[in-house]
Amino acid sequence: MLDANAYAEALNAALAAVPGADEQLPASVLPAKGRPRAVEEWCTAHGVPTPSKTVVAYRVLELIADGRSVVAANRRLVLNRAYERLANALNLDDLLM
């Protein structure tokens, strides 16, 4: 559900904090599924430590705090529908978009 460009940006921000990690992971190397494994393989191949999922998640939250959308475009409708169903089930009509 996470946009590959947003994920790569968050990962690269985490890598930028690692001394000696000058490489930038391109979003194009990230598959739709299995991204953590792809990141680990890429980091190993480039001789940089793999950032923890927690650190990358924090960087994603920073993107959200900056007003960025991090949801993959092809998943927005699915998330909106899930939100609407949940809000209806919980009688949260005033929170519906």
Query: What are the tens digits of pLDDT across the range 41-86?
Result: 999 999 999 999 999 999 999 999 999 888 888 888 888 899 889 8
The amino acid that residue 48 corresponds to is V
**Distance separating the N- and C-terminal Cα atoms of the chain:** 19
pTM of full prediction above 0.75: yes
The amino acid that residue 49 corresponds to is P
- The DSSP output letter for 26 is -
Tens-place pLDDT, residues 7-42 = 999 999 999 988 877 889 999 999 989 999 999 999
Tens-place pLDDT, residues 57-66 = 999 999 999 9
Residues 6+ apart with CB under 8 A from 9: 59, 63
- Residue 51: the pLDDT is 92
The domain limits of the chain are: 4-72
